[in-house]
Chain A
Amino acid sequence: MAGSTLYDKLWKDHLVKEREDGTALIYIDRHFLHEVTSPQAFEGLRLANRKPWRIDANLATVDHNVPTTGRDSGIEGIEDSVARLQITTLDDNCDAFGILEYKYQDAQQGIIHVIGPELGATLPGMTVVCGDSHTSTHGAFGCLAHGIGTSEVEHVLATQCLIQKKMKNMLIRIDGKLQPGVSPKDVILAVIGKIGTAGGTGHAIEFAGDVIRNMSMEGRMTVCNMAIEAGARAGMVAVDETTIEYVRGKQFAPTGPSWDAAVKTWRNLKSDPDAQFDQVVEFRAEDIRAQVTWGTSPELVVAIDERVPDPDAQQDPVTREGYKRALKYMGLEAGMLITDIKLDRIFIGSCTNSRIEDLREAAAIVKGKKVASSVKQAMVVPGSGPIKVQAEQEGLDKIFIDAGFEWREPGCSMCLAMNPDRLGAGEHCAATSNRNFESRQGPGGRTHLVSPAMAAAAGIAGHFVDLSKLEVSQ
């Protein structure tokens, strides 16, 4: 019999009940909550006269629609009354049920997918869910982690379980050594470019190979974060020393004999050498170059030294029309050089790329330089309070501010523009976030998904640049 994949093992370990109809009841170890997808779930719970099953499995924060300026004036200072109500509703729900919440002005507030791992609330081997599709981020810790809708938020609150059907197994292996200037963001964009935004539908993706093994936890989180953009609800990486060292000493991580016992089980969180995958896709690291999206889906991506593709070269008529539509929306011409795309705004942040390593990567490019005069706004939004503090201790804030970047308070910010941070119609933005959908960053806004280094370099030059031709100050 073939061995088990990491996903098989996680599934089996959380199986409460298998039903004859092929569904299963899966136990959930960690449930993260935020203000946007939870209010209707709490309301449903109350209407049915139910209570949360296990309070300590839940952890909440406000991130999606919090402003990134004026934090000192508190909730009362939030101008958008609809957003304010959603924020206070989460506060009220968490207070009423005794759920731990990092509130608007708490030092540890931040993007839920950033603070979970940072607090050690994400531990290897857990099932992790949240009413947010980027929950796949936590798979970087050898977790089974995926987004759920509001009905399932209510289901988890009420039962600590989810009704699931087992997904298929997909392995994405990237061997070799990345070229200088090529980051984890480029790796995942290249993967999406190849397999497409529906390539992983119905699958749990395990990312493996030399490149993943040599990647930091921050990098692995960036890769797993965008598994959903490849269609897979869950992305994951096997546990190794890098994982264990990251978790060690975190606030909610076990200590003493409990730590030793935990580490012993965590070391088994990897696929067996003879495990069978339903699909295997392999990449050579040397083939991956810095990536820039040109269209309105993450799969519409090319390397920095390429040109905007020609729709007429597409065979399928629906795809061809999709390309034409994307070009029109983006205001780009087929055949133009990616390095000729000019930027109006720069956004460095989001659950994909707002961790300390991302900020260091961007700061290294920016140091001693100035944002191009043609760029209207360049902003850095750290993923959490602690990251902001750490960056300030390292002097990164000063580097950004001196160059003309704005240094903001933590939140999802311009990734989805639910707060006041947004693009104007027709504006091009180099963004380190995860979705370039029409109007995602503001009505009519034009998003180009890139790595932190590329966003930083584009801010300085005013257009995309080939990082391999750039001098970086260390």
Chain B
Amino acid sequence: MQEFIRHHGLVVPLNQENVDTDQIIPKQFLKSIKRTGFGPNLFDEWRYLDEGQPGQDCSQRPLNTDFILNQPQYLGASILLAQKNFGCGSSREHAPWAILEYGIRSVIAPSFADIFFNNSFKNGLLPIVLEQEKIDDLFLEAESEQGCKLDINLESQKITRADGKEYSFEVDPFRRHCLLKGLDDIGISLEDTDLIHSYEQQRRESKPWLFR
């Protein structure tokens, strides 16, 4: 997994509640058996004027210039600012894969859907929860003419604006540890192989019907 220690980047503001995973990456692209190739189809329905199909050359497709990601001042953005319940809907991990491949390293929102939140950490995408007032603050800044650049520091758990204003954020210690080191958590769990075996053995004896 790609580590996340510190990131400096431009913010793109997506001012909508309940952005669901069907919007983040529409279903026709989920037929791939690979982990890569989803970036050009991030927000496909909103980003392009035509209907997206797997395997297309997206550079030739007509862009929806009204969509925020396509607006010139937000090109190259690597931080997505969103509203409540971001990532609701399906469990598709293709959603964080697509966001990351587009070049976004962090999503900041007042709340996230549980599964999306969890999936993000597994891939080196940092979801940050901030209080609504701070989010409103950042939207004002990001939607202003000069835009908004942020420095996100996972070690100190601080976000710093260009004008020096700081916001601190909370992050689960285990997830923070894995992100900072870029750790594969399967390896961490397998350190407890003996414990898992003994739990399983005891379960096999007390509840044999759970085993075939």
Residues of A within 8 A of B208 (CB): 254, 258
Check if B17 sits within 8 Å of A322, measured CB to CB.
Answer: yes
A185 proximal to B (CB < 8 A): no
- Bound-state CA distance A197–B83 (Å) is 13
Q: Within B81-115, which residues are at the interface with A (CB < 8 Å)? A: 83-85, 88-93, 96, 111-115
Count of interface residues, chain B, beta-carbon cutoff 8 Å: 61
B1 to chain A: closest residue by CB: A151
B31 close to A151 (CB less than 8 A): no
A27 lies within 8 A of B16 (CB): no
A173 to B28, CA, bound (A): 38
Among B61-69, B70-78, B142-150, B183-191, the stretch that binds chain A is B183-191
Shortest Cβ gap from A464 to chain B (Å): 24
The listed residue (B31, B88, B90, B177) touching A65 by CB distance below 8 A is B31
Say whether B189 contacts A437, CB under 8 Å. no
Q: Does B26 contact A (CB under 8 A)?
A: yes
Docked pose: A94 CA to B16 CA in angstroms: 41
Q: A37 contacts B93, CB within 8 Å? A: yes
Contact across chains for A27 and B203 when beta carbons are under 8 A apart = yes
Nearest-neighbour CB distance to chain A for B7, whole angstroms, equals 21
A143 to chain B, nearest CB (A): 11
In the bound assembly, the distance between CA atoms of A232 and B113 in angstroms comes to 9
B31–A202 CB distance below 8 A: no
Contact present for A198 and B85 (CB under 8 Å): yes
Indicate whether A148 sits within 8 Å of B196 (C-beta atoms), given known contacts A163-B185, A201-B111.
no
Docked-complex contact B54 and A16, CB < 8 angstroms: no
Closest to A53 in B: B196
A210 at interface, CB cutoff 8 A: no
A231 touches B88 (CB 8 A): yes
State whether the Cβ of A82 lies closer than 8 Å to any Cβ in chain B.
yes
Knowing A201-B85, A201-B113, the reply to whether A39 touches B33 (Cβ < 8 A) is: yes
Task: Give the interface SS of chain A, mostly helix, strand, loop or mixed.
Answer: loop
Q: What residues of chain B lie closer than 8 Å to A318, measured between beta carbons?
A: 15-17, 83
Name the residue among B96, B112, B185, B195 with the largest chain A CB count within 10 angstroms.
B185
> Given the known A-B contacts A163-B189, A437-B23, A438-B23, are A148 and B115 also in contact in the complex, defined by CB atoms under 8 Å?
yes
The yes or no answer to A440 lying at the interface (CB within 8 A) is yes
- Measured CB to CB, the nearest residue on chain A to B95 is A149
Residues of B within 8 A of A85 (CB): 31, 33
Picked from B17, B34, B45, B89, the residue with its CB within 8 Å of the CB of A319 is: B17
Chain A: CB-nearest residue to B122: A151
CA distance A321 to B19 in the complex (A): 13
Instruction: Please name all residues of chain A whose beta carbon is closer than 8 Å to the beta carbon of B196 when the two chains form the complex.
Output: 16, 25, 27, 53, 159-161
Q: Which of A43, A125, A133, A152 contacts B90 (CB 8 A)?
A: A133
For A258, the chain B residues whose CB sits under 8 A away are 208-209
Roughly how many angstroms separate A101 CA and B149 CA in the complex, as a whole number?
Answer: 50
Decide if A148 touches B186 in the complex (CB within 8 Å).
Answer: no
B20 interfacial by beta-carbon distance below 8 Å: yes
Determine if B115 and A86 form an interchain contact, defined as CB atoms under 8 angstroms apart.
Answer: no
User: Is A438 within 8 A of B192, CB to CB?
Assistant: no
With both chains docked as a complex, state the minimum distance between the C-beta of A439 and any C-beta of chain B, in angstroms: 5
Cβ contact within 8 Å between B115 and A231: no
Give CA–CA (A133, B117) in the complex, Å: 13
Partner of B32, one of A82, A135, A202, A259: A82
A443 nearest CB across to chain B (Å) = 5
B186 touches A201 (CB 8 A): no
A322 lies within 8 A of B173 (CB): no
Taking the closest CB of chain A, its distance from the CB of B38, in whole angstroms, is 11
Q: Which residues of A contact B203 (CB under 8 A)?
A: 27
In whole Å, how far is A163's beta carbon from the nearest beta carbon of chain B?
6
**Any B CB within 8 A of the CB of A21:** yes
What is the CA–CA distance of A347 and B76 in the complex, to the nearest angstrom? 41
Bound: A85/B34 CA distance, A: 11
Per-residue 0/1 for A425-450: is the Cβ within 8 Å of any B Cβ (1 yes, 0 no)?
00000000001011110010000000
| Residue B162, interface by CB 8 Å | no
A322→B185 contact, CB < 8 A: no
Supposing A149-B91, A439-B45 touch, asked if A19 and B174 sit within 8 A by C-beta, the answer is yes
Chain A nearest Cβ from B6, distance in angstroms: 22
| Residue among B15, B93, B174 facing the most chain A CB atoms (10 A cut-off) | B93
Contacts of A125 in B (CB 8 A): 207
Interface presence of B160 (CB below 8 A): no
> A29 to B122, Cβ gap below 8 A?
no
Contact with B along A192-223 (1 / 0, CB 8 A): 00000110011000000000000000000000
Interchain CA distance A83-B27 in the complex, whole Å? 11
Question: Which residues of chain A are within 8 angstroms of B88 by Cβ–Cβ distance?
Answer: 197-198, 231, 297
Whether, in the assembled complex, A262 has its beta carbon less than 8 Å from a beta carbon of chain B, the answer is yes
Chain A neighbourhood of B157, CB < 8 A: none
Q: Which residue of B lies closest to A131 (CB)?
A: B91
- Given known pairs A155-B185, A437-B22, the reply for A133 and B111 (CB within 8 Å) is no
Among A417, A418, A438, contact of B45 (Cβ-Cβ < 8 Å): A438
Contact check, A197 vs B91: say whether CB atoms are below 8 A apart: no
A155-B186, A325-B16 given; A149·B115 CB < 8 A:
yes
Nearest to B184 among chain A residues (CB) is A48
Min Cβ gap A82→B in Å is 4
* Chain B residue contacts of A43, Cβ below 8 A: 33, 35
> Contact string, A38-65, partner B, CB cutoff 8 A, digits 1/0?
0110010000101001101000000011
Q: Is the CB of A132 closer than 8 A to any CB of chain B? A: yes
Question: Which A residues lie at the B interface, using CB under 8 A?
Answer: 16-17, 19, 21-23, 25, 27, 29, 36-37, 39-40, 43, 48, 50, 53-54, 56, 64-65, 80, 82-83, 85-86, 89, 123, 125-126, 131-133, 135, 146-152, 154-155, 158-161, 163, 165, 197-198, 201-202, 228, 231-233, 252-254, 258-259, 261-262, 265, 297, 299, 318-319, 321-322, 325, 416-418, 435, 437-440, 443
Apart from A21-B173, A152-B118, list 8 A-B contacts with CB within 8 A: A53-B196, A86-B31, A155-B189, A158-B190, A160-B196, A198-B88, A318-B83, A418-B27
Sample 6 A-B pairs with CB under 8 A, ordered by A number: A36-B30, A64-B30, A132-B90, A133-B90, A159-B186, A417-B27
The 7 closest A-B pairs by CB, nearest first: A254-B209, A149-B119, A149-B93, A151-B122, A39-B33, A147-B91, A198-B85
